[in-house]
Amino acid sequence: MARLHHDLQGPAHPARPAPRPACPAQPDPPDNHPGHRLDTRNSSRLRSAHGTYLVEPFTPLRGRDLGGVLAAFALPALATAFGWRSTLLAGALVALSGAVAFIGFYRRPPGQRPIPTTSRVRLELLREPYMKKIILSGASMVSVHSGVGVLTVLYLHEVTSMDSAPAALVYVAVQCAGALGRICLAAWSDRHRSGRYACVLTCLTAVIIGMTALTTPIGRSPVAACLLFIWLGFFGIGWYGPWVAYAAESAPPAHTGFTLGLAMAVNQVAVILAPPVLGLLTDLTDSFTPAWALLAALTAAGMTATARL
């Protein structure tokens, strides 16, 4: 374990530059923060990472959700004018252009050097309680996100008898609520006394309430269904703000990339599996209730398992 402790810390760092006057001093993390398992030589670096990750994740988060809002506006019109295949081509070109722009403009932060990491250290990280929280909560909530994205318009059209155009506008409102949720919930997590994961647990609870309400007769009312989907957009999409900040801050120094990469990889598996599973379940049962019940059950299981850690 002593050797593992040394591997987690990495080699000794050169003298650190003096802190910039413009940056306010960061408060010490709470006693139960994962950083307290590390040697105090890394404490200033960890506090510096706090300041970095409070800023860096949230800027692209806003752009990411605004992209979803723009897509919800633009892609239906594009499909009407040029066919649904044009929307796939447009989405692929936008994604490719974003990847090319990132590769072209990304630069490693000054003074940062990669630290060699053994496979044994990474396996040990998988056993950490914070890693289990990140993976279980992320997989359940990204399934909810996918379910809301796939089934919202269909549900409003088939169950509440809403026309396709108003249903699409409701989905735009859901995306806007998600964008607002990512900003507001992330800002709330900055000030929450119980830590960022308490905000994630709040989002899990809110999603369970919303999904359960959709399985009742209340969900058949057009007005109630619209409000419930906006509620699910705020919490079921906005959860990502405090979640990614918790993941970044929980990772030991020099292992943030692996922690986030693993969490995103698990999330992508859920992103791939959730739409066909939920769609097939809806087709086989000729009802949306089993899909909402499954998402509520997955979310409840994730909340129960991680609340005990």
CB 237 within 8 A of CB 206: no
5 domain-assigned: no
Query: Domain range holding 143?
Result: 45-90+128-309
In 3D space, the residue among 294, 245, 6 whose CA is nearest the CA of residue 130 turns out to be 245
Half-sphere exposure at residue 186, Cβ-oriented, CA atoms within 13 angstroms: 26
Phi and psi at residue 33, to the nearest 5°: -70, 140
CA distance linking residue 117 with residue 132, whole number of Å: 20
Question: pLDDT tens digits, the chain, 309 residues: what are they?
Answer: 444 444 444 444 444 444 444 444 444 444 444 444 433 333 333 333 333 333 333 334 445 567 777 887 788 888 888 998 888 898 889 889 988 998 898 887 777 665 555 566 667 788 889 999 999 999 999 999 999 999 999 999 999 999 988 999 999 999 999 999 999 999 999 998 888 999 999 999 999 999 999 999 999 999 999 999 999 999 999 999 999 999 999 988 878 888 898 899 989 999 999 999 999 999 999 999 999 999 999 999 999 999 888
Q: How high is the pLDDT of residue 45?
A: 33
Residue 113 in 3-state DSSP?
coil
CA distance linking residue 287 with residue 281, whole number of Å: 8
**How many domains does the chain contain in total?**
1
What is the CATH number for 226? 1.20.1250.20
196 domain-assigned: yes
Give the position of tokens 């997590």: 189
237 domain-assigned: yes
231 domain-assigned: yes
186 domain-assigned: yes
Q: Which amino acid is at 116?
A: P
16 domain-assigned: no
Q: Report the C-alpha dihedral over residues 72, 73, 78, 83, rounded to 10 degrees.
A: 40
96 domain-assigned: no
In 3D space, the residue among 232, 201, 228, 195 whose CA is nearest the CA of residue 213 turns out to be 228
In angstroms, the Cα distances linking 241 to 87, 148, 189 are: 28, 18, 9
74 domain-assigned: yes
